[in-house]
């Protein structure tokens, strides 16, 4: 009696395992079996009723005429159940996609069984098959394309132009007014008269910028020396002017003050030295006194 019950259990378990194996199916699907060279064929292989078992989809071996362009495995509940191959043929004729082995593993990753698909016959035809005109066609002329507008460069160019204009405006505002033009000595204007006229305009600049005041002060003194003694003082440096002391009809003290004043003007013009308003007022009074009383005793 016990042997009979044991035999029934063996038969029941064996039938159950066989039913599970029979319930697992592998399906294949392909776009078409007739294609042209270079066409992409989609081959889908899927499993049905795998249960807890693991389905393994290996690669398809390529050859000279067949290329596997892409392989995509689809999963459900983190388990693979379908694979998609993109296949391209590069020769005409009849080809066969060989049987594809699908490996089935148990839940513990041990091998259960391997199921192979049927081979698939593929026919690859030429690109010219079915075309009315198979002759080579003349090469078409190149198509003219409109050059795209590079807005980024145009915007940068406009911004750069605006910056240059702003810099130009700011620079022009800082330009020092042109130096006074030389007035040639004539029977109507003596060197003293010209210098006095210059000093009247200079008085307005005492409260102005330091550099402008001393630039014009230097010009007035040099022009006065040039008009009075016929020495090209406007084209000479202060050091060169000092070498002609014997040519000036000046007392030693006045000559030293003139040279000192020119040196101070050079400091203001070239070294950007800042003198006070009181210094400018003192220098202006001395120049006015020196030129106004040129033929008289000089008063400091």
- Go through the domains of the chain in sequence order and give each one's CATH number: 23-125 (2.60.40.740), 191-292 (no CATH)
pLDDT class for 249, splitting at 50, 70, 90?
low
Residue 251 clears pLDDT 60, i.e. is over it: yes
| Top-confidence residue, 105 or 183 | 105
Residue 159 clears pLDDT 90, i.e. is over it: yes
Tell me the DSSP string of 221-286: HHHHHHHHH---GGGS-HHHHHTTGGGS---HHHHHHHHHHHHHHHHHHHS-PPPPHHHHHHHHHH
pLDDT class for 155, splitting at 50, 70, 90?
very high
* Distance (Å, whole) CA 74 – CA 84: 8
Q: Give the number of C-alpha atoms closer than 13 A to the C-alpha of residue 273, restricted to the C-beta side.
A: 13
Mean pLDDT of 65-70: 88
Mean pLDDT of 39-66: 87
Mean pLDDT of 20-37: 81
Residue 35 clears pLDDT 70, i.e. is over it: yes
What pLDDT score does 146 carry? 76
| Top-confidence residue, 283 or 187 | 283
E strand or H helix at 28: strand 25-30
What pLDDT score does 180 carry? 58
Mean pLDDT of 10-38: 68
Q: What are phi and psi of 210, to 5 degrees?
A: -60, -45
- 126-146: per-residue pLDDT in tens? 877 665 555 666 677 777 777
Residue 253 clears pLDDT 50, i.e. is over it: yes
* Distance (Å, whole) CA 224 – CA 187: 16
| Top-confidence residue, 1 or 210 | 210
Whether this prediction's pTM lies above 0.85 is answered by no
What pLDDT score does 15 carry? 44
CB 99 within 8 A of CB 8: no
Q: What is the mean pLDDT of the chain?
A: 78
What pLDDT score does 131 carry? 57
- 160-213: per-residue pLDDT in tens? 999 999 998 888 776 655 555 655 555 557 888 888 888 888 888 888 788 888
What pLDDT score does 201 carry? 84
| Top-confidence residue, 16 or 25 | 25
> How are beta strands 120-125 and 34-36 bridged, if at all?
parallel
What pLDDT score does 137 carry? 61
* Distance (Å, whole) CA 56 – CA 28: 15
| Top-confidence residue, 112 or 182 | 112
Tell me the DSSP string of 187-224: SS--HHHHHHHHHHHHGGGTTS-HHHHHHHHHHHHHHH
């Amino acid at each position: 009696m016990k042997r009979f019950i044991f035999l029934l259990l063996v038969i029941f378990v064996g039938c159950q395992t066989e039913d599970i194996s029979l319930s697992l199916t592998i399906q294949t699907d392909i776009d078409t079996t007739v294609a042209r060279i270079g066409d992409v064929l989609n081959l889908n292989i899927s499993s049905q009723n795998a249960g807890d078992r693991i389905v393994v989809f290996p690669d398809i071996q390529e050859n000279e005429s067949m290329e596997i362009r892409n392989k995509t495995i689809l999963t459900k509940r983190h388990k693979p159940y379908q694979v998609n191959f993109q296949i391209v043929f590069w020769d005409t004729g009849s080809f066969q996609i060989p049987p594809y082995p699908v490996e089935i593993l148990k839940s513990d990753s041990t091998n259960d069984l391997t199921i192979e698909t049927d081979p698939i016959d593929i026919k690859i035809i030429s690109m010219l098959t079915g075309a009315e005109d198979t002759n080579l066609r003349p090469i078409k002329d190149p198509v003219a394309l409109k050059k795209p507008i590079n807005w980024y460069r145009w915007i940068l160019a406009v911004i750069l132009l605006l910056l240059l204009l702003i810099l130009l405006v700011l620079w022009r505002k800082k330009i020092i007014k042109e130096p006074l033009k030389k007035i040639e000595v004539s029977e109507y204007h003596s060197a003293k008269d010209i210098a006095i006229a210059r000093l009247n305009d200079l008085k307005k600049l005492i409260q102005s910028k330091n550099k402008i005041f001393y630039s014009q002060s230097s010009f007035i003194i040099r022009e006065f020396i040039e008009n009075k003694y016929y020495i090209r003082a406007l084209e000479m440096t202060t050091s060169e002017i000092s070498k002609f002391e014997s040519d000036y009809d000046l007392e030693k003290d006045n000559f030293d003050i003139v040279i000192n004043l020119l040196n101070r003007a050079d400091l203001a013009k070239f070294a950007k030295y800042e003198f006070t308003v009181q210094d400018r007022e003192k220098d202006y009074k001395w120049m006015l006194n020196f030129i106004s009383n040129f033929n008289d005793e000089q008063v400091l």
